[in-house]
Structure 1
């Protein structure tokens, strides 16, 4: 059973469109128009066109594309800010806010027309954001699922709490966790496909597969095709096996 998956996008619409082109080319080679494309979360923040990314994915799904879009911690913080300017995500350090330059909320709001979002009073920025972010985008982001399972793969933004049954996993972990997930060598009963923790290149660790190749920091956006637990990265020339 084949699935495609794409790592953390972080507002890079042009990279996303390029990656979808690679997936289309692989579909043409295999004759498979049915396999879903799973987007691993973090649609927004840091990059130049978060609005464009959200609209591209929203429209694609509305038009019948077999796409799955998962919720990342940055997507959750965006939605939380729109609901309440004082919102503090429980996974975020208390001395930071979504509009802090390290988080990249400012560029997201700027893509919607809210200028200098990180440099003005939060109440004013929030009022403008509520007026300028389309209701369809808010509804789309708030409705994103945190997990998707298919065949031998479990797709999630950040990871899982090791040793906890899937039905008992909480969203805070699914969108935020690093340790003890990253260092746990145990088989989780399925291949956990995730992003969230930026690394230099897509890496298969045996029990998990990290797709976050650092698009948020100037790195590439990566996509893979998964068949069972076998994985190939999709490059300009086609498939390359991931060990």
Structure 2
């Protein structure tokens, strides 16, 4: 079985369409994992949510969209919690995309999609997560804050991790490809590339983002 993982999209629906178009994906047999951050900053967050949601509905056993820190912030914004944090981190593009006739209108099926996103997906060899893990803590004991937000303490960790961790969240100039950690956020929304990786072959697929977004 092949697994394809896709890095942070951030509203870049055009790039996602082109990336999915070049993947040799057979969703009758393969798995497709999205590492979160579908929304914010880019021009079409609503369209990205719709695309990923539709894929999961068509292939519920084969498409696994994970939660990113931006989905986490958006859900808190909708509850009135730390709204300024969401706005500071590019949330205005998401609000703009969901405004209709001066009102914020989020379809119930989009809310249900966001509420149902898991924090990680695990196989015998790989651990897929948005940001990373806290090293020297058992995978079964990881906490939400680290899974969604951790950076240097994870990817600079000098020791060996229990599984190969496949993550996004931190944009790199190119794919971080180590024995036990693979970072595939290559800064699409910042004018970089949108990246997918095929596992276990570790084959990289990328498309250029048409422009840099705020």
TM-score using structure 1 length: 0.79
Matched residues in 1 for 2:33 and 2:167: separation?
A: 10
Q: What number of residue pairs does the alignment pair up?
A: 206
Q: Deviations over 1:155-197 (max 9, x none)?
A: 0000000011111101111000013112103221211000100
- Say yes or no: does 1:109 pair with 2:95: yes
1:99 correspondence with 2:93:
no
Could you tell me which residue of structure 2 aligns to residue 43 of structure 1?
A: 38
**1:24-43 maps to which residues of 2 (within 5 A)?**
26-27=24-25, 33-43=28-38
Task: In structure 1, list runs of 5 or more residues that go unmatched.
Answer: 90-95, 116-124, 237-243
Where do 5+ consecutive residues of structure 2 fail to align? 208-214
After TM superposition, where is structure 1 displaced by more than 4 Å over at least 4 residues in a row?
Answer: none
Determine the C-alpha separation between the residues in 1 that align with 2:25 and 2:68.
Answer: 26
Find out whether 1:136 has 2:109 as its counterpart.
yes
Quick check: 1:41–1:70 contact (8 Å CA) kept in 2? yes
Match of 1:193 in 2: 166
| Aligned counterparts of 1:114 and 1:46: Cα–Cα separation in 2 | 19
Structure 1, residues 9-59: CA drift from partner, whole Å, max 9, x if none?
A: 000111111111121xx237xxx7411110011010000000001111112
> Distance between the aligned counterparts of 1:43 and 1:187, measured in 2?
30
Q: Which has the larger radius of gyration?
A: 1
Within 5 A, what are the aligned runs for 1:71-82?
Answer: 71-82=67-78
What is residue 211 of structure 2 aligned with on the other side?
Answer: none
Q: 1:83 aligns with which of 79, 83, 91?
A: 79
Q: Give CA deviations for 1:108-148 in whole Å, capped at 9, x if unaligned.
A: 11111269xxxxxxxxx9xx32xx11111111111100000
Select the residue among 167, 182, 190 that pairs with 1:217: 190
Q: Deviations over 1:69-116 (max 9, x none)?
A: 0000001101111122xx139xxxxxx52112xx1100011111269x
Deviation at 1:205, TM superposition (A): 2.2
The answer to whether the 8 Å contact 2:13/2:45 transfers is yes
Aligned partner of residue 79 in structure 1, secondary structure: helix
Q: How many angstroms apart in 2 are the aligned matches of 1:41 and 1:184?
A: 23
Q: Secondary structure at the match of 2:202?
A: strand
Q: TM-score, normalised by structure 2?
A: 0.90
Measure, in 2, the Cα distance between the counterparts of 1:174 and 1:112: 27
Instruction: Give the Å deviation of 1:64.
Output: 2.4
Q: CA RMSD in A?
A: 1.9
